[in-house]
Amino acid sequence: MTRTSSTFLAIGAGALAGAAGPLPWIAGSFTVVQPGLAKWLLGAAAVAGTAAVLAAIVCRQSHPAARVAVLLTGLLTTASSPTFVALLARQAPAEPRLAGVRPTAATPTTARLRVLQLNAFHGYPDPEGRLVVPGRPSDRLRRAGHLATEVSRLQPDVVVLQEAWCAVDEGCLADYLAGELGFHAVYARANGSLRWLGFEEGSAILSRFPVADPRVWPLGPDRDAFERRIALTARIDYPGLPFELVGAHLANGDTDLAGTQAAGLLERLGGSERPAVIAGDLNLPGDHAALSRFQEAGYRDLVVGSIDHVLLDAVNSGWWPLWTEWAEAGAVSDHPGILVEFQLPVAPADHDWQGDWQLATAGQVGLDPDRLEQAVQDIGELEGVHGLLVARRGRLVVERYFRGSVGDRPHNLKSASKSVLSALAGLAIEQGLLNLDQPIANVLPEAAQLDDPGKQAITVRHLLTMTSGLESTSFGNYGSWVASRNWVRAALERPLQAEPGTRFSYSTGGTHLLSATLSRAAGRSTHDFAREHLFAPLGIRRSAWARDRQGVHMGGNNLSLLPRDMLKFGQLYLNRGRWNGEQLLPWQWIDESTRPGPVGPRGRGRLYGGYGYLWWLRGHRERGAYIASGYGGQYIYVAPAEDLVVVVISTEISKGRGWRGELFGIIRESVAGSVIDRYERQVAVVD
């Protein structure tokens, strides 16, 4: 090789290295938005620099000055990539900071909390389909506007965000959303650097209620300097119930690494005040061993079939998830959001009940009049249905009777009577007359006389949950049981088929035993106890309740009430026991009664989601609804998420089985579905 060609080769390699020199700093613009491209640019710079160094070494015949210049250029270019990575590695996750906006003060009017979990995915195309890249600020701001609109529609109380961005020209997503929503907010950086890269991303918590004591936990090990994972934790000062909340984001595309990070998070939680909720993009399938360890620690995973999760401290929090839904966020992220509404263990707010039903039009209470009217007609056409009543926001909206029926005569609730007995049991326990785990043999002489230890172990709780273990007196055994001379003895003489508390078996005989136990403990009949402590405060003046030959009222059947009074009973439960400014029934009892027990019914099909204390629980599609259910189609349907109570009365001979699925489909899709704003909230703004 001639001196001239050698010099030209060296200079060419040096020029290439010089041109590649800025690549690491160009890569900095893509470090967070497109880390793959950033790594490629760094690699290209390193290759170009190395090529220049090799050219300077190989081209010995080139001009000395040119060789030195090429060598230095190559060394500097080669060193720039690892130097950039080293500087990036030194960027530890930043301490969290509160948003610099003035939030709107608010107070809850219901004891419920709605949480939205969402990965905002900073690299997602904007609503017009263009990729978000550095130097095009309008894209991110436009998408932030769409996100604010979507979050506002869902009306959460708390929002947990991952990949919440900050950019030099646009500000920070958390600050923007906090300003648009009137929320408190805290943000912590995970990756990037606003100061020397102009862009960063991290996690954020936004809350309708004050946010305090924010902390950030690095979740190692890191995949590389381009990707760090953190958990952001803070205290949410919900009135009367401050709680800890954790938002986490774990490694993507490597479940082993994400599992290790999850184990580190769980270890962190063991040494701090236990949070009520953990929400985040955990990048783990639901059956991963790491999530199983969370469940072993007492956390319940509320999401199935997703890599995003909401974990509830089911052991210590006392919270109950009323419903969980996917919140489609196609215009703002490639992740669907997760929306969860919790019932909180705090007393309900007062309700402005006026002592009797006030009438309202559908539109006045936020229902679509046309859709509701169609639902009324469709239900009225079902064979055997004699009446339909609908109340929303404590106002009577629909009262319609069919086939010559009227509303001024008491109607037999059949087995819906069991749910009224559940309320009476709650009142008796509140008054100290009974105890949930008290053996009925301690109160009921007929049970005390039994020589079977298994039967003597039957408790009030077992009767409330249909888990006494006694052979059922219902279905095929019902006729022979009611034909017996002593219903209490006949129910107790049934063989014990399972250890009490281990198997569900629906039995009206069990609720008759509960009625007898309550009557004995109260020193008066079950009906008299109901008149004084439940019916009179509710303004229920007309009632009838069948008795056995010994005078024991039939706790699980044959209570008769006016249809409007059935609706009052449902409204009492919707109010969580609050009535006329007083806590008539303990709210704790309402909450516990309408949650599934550890042993539930099997083979009941898609119509039921479990069994509480003599209440049937509806499936997940009905967002926490529950019903009192009676033979022939007698129903009191309570839907807390829609602030709705529905009563259906039917002829006994209709049995209601042929059209029951159709009925609840209409209630779900057209009655509850007539709510104009599905995500309506009752939150008072405080000036």
Model pLDDT for residues 227-247, shown as the tens digit of each residue: 788 999 999 999 888 999 999
The CATH superfamily label for domain 351-409+589-687 reads DD-peptidase/beta-lactamase superfamily (3.40.710.10)
Does residue 339 carry a pLDDT above 70?
yes
Q: So what's the pLDDT on residue 134?
A: 52
State the CATH architecture for 97-105+112-343. Answer: 4-Layer Sandwich (3.60)
Distances (CA, A) of 622 to 157, 251, 348, 444, 668: 21, 34, 22, 39, 7
Give the integer Cα–Cα distance in Å for 516 and 447: 11
User: How far is the C-alpha of 517 from the C-alpha of 229, rounded, in Å?
Assistant: 58
Sort strands 112-119 and 158-167 into parallel, antiparallel or unpaired.
parallel
Indicate if the pLDDT at residue 360 is higher than 60: yes
User: What percentage of the chain's residues is helix, strand, coil (to nearest 5)?
Assistant: 40, 25, 40
Is it the case that residue 225 has pLDDT exceeding 90?
no
pLDDT at 373 over 60: yes
Can you give 530-584 as a three-state secondary structure string? HHHHHHHHHCCCCEEECECCCCCECCCCCEEECHHHHHHHHHHHHCCCEECCEEC
Q: How are beta strands 184-193 and 578-579 bridged, if at all?
A: unpaired
Size of the chain, expressed as the number of residues it contains:
687
Convert the pLDDT of each residue in 398-408 to its tens digit.
999 998 888 88
Three state DSSP letters for 267-315: HHHHCCCCCCEEEEECCCCCCCHHHHHHHHCCEEECCCCCCEEEEEECC
Kindly list the domain boundaries of the chain, sorted by start residue: 3-89, 97-105+112-343, 351-409+589-687, 413-561
pLDDT value of position 196: 66
351-409+589-687 and 413-561: identical CATH topology: yes
Q: Is residue 571 predicted with pLDDT exceeding 80?
A: yes
Q: How far apart are CA 139 and CA 128, in angstroms?
A: 9
| pLDDT for residue 387 | 96
Q: Over 70: is that where the pLDDT of 73 sits?
A: no
Task: Name the average pLDDT for the chain.
Answer: 83
Residue 256 pLDDT exceeds 90: yes
Instruction: Find which of 95-109, 444-458, 589-603 is predicted with most confidence, using mean pLDDT.
Output: 444-458
Specify burial of residue 328 (Cβ count, 10 A radius: 0-12, 13-18, 19+). Answer: exposed
Residue 611: beta bridge partners?
A: 616
Provide the 8-state DSSP code for 241.
-
Q: What is the pLDDT of residue 604?
A: 47
* Confidence band of 63 (pLDDT split at 50, 70, 90): low
Highest mean pLDDT among 6-20, 165-179, 331-345, 529-543: 529-543
d(CA 74, CA 453): 89
Pair 641, 626: CB distance under 8 Å? no
Structure-model confidence comparison of residues 606 and 226, the more confident one: 226
pLDDT band at 140 (very low <50, low <70, confident <90, very high): confident
- Its sign, for the CA torsion 55, 57, 61, 64, is positive
In our burial notation (b when 16+ CB lie closer than 10 A, e otherwise), range 555-574 reads bbbbbbbbbbbbbbbbbbbb
Highest mean pLDDT among 211-225, 354-368, 428-442: 428-442
For residue 9, pLDDT over 90 is answered with no
- CA 605 – CA 616 distance, rounded (Å): 13
Nearest by Cα to 79 from 48, 55, 109, 108: 48
- Number of C-alpha atoms within 13 angstroms, CB side, residue 177? 34
pLDDT of residue 69: 58
Q: What is the spatial distance between Cα 164 and Cα 99, in angstroms, rounded to a whole number?
A: 13
Separation CA 287–CA 447 (nearest Å):
46
CB 469, CB 461: distance < 8 Å: no
Q: Which residue has the tokens 């063991």?
A: 270
Structure confidence at residue 59 as a pLDDT band (50, 70, 90):
low
**Using CA atoms, how far apart are residues 8 and 53, in angstroms rounded to an integer?**
14
Residue 502: pLDDT band by 50, 70, 90 thresholds?
Answer: very high
Q: Is the dihedral of CA 604, 610, 612, 615 positive or negative?
A: negative
Average pLDDT for 622-639 = 93
Over 80: is that where the pLDDT of 61 sits?
Answer: no
pLDDT in tens, 149-183: 889 989 999 999 999 988 877 788 999 999 999 99
pLDDT at 189 over 60: yes
Handedness of CA 467, 470, 476, 481 (dihedral sign): negative
CATH class name, domain 413-561: alpha beta
CA 96, distance to chain mean position in Å, is 26
Residue in the block written with tokens 């769980």:
266
Residues 6+ apart with CB under 8 A from 557: 414, 415, 417, 418, 508, 511, 546
Q: What is the DSSP letter of 671?
A: I
What residue type is assigned to position 201 of the chain?
A: E
Q: Are 231 and 105 in contact (CB under 8 A)?
A: no
Angle at 65 between CA 61 and CA 69, to 5 degrees: 105
The residue with tokens 């809850």 is 108
Query: For the residues 616-637, what does the mean pLDDT come to?
Result: 91
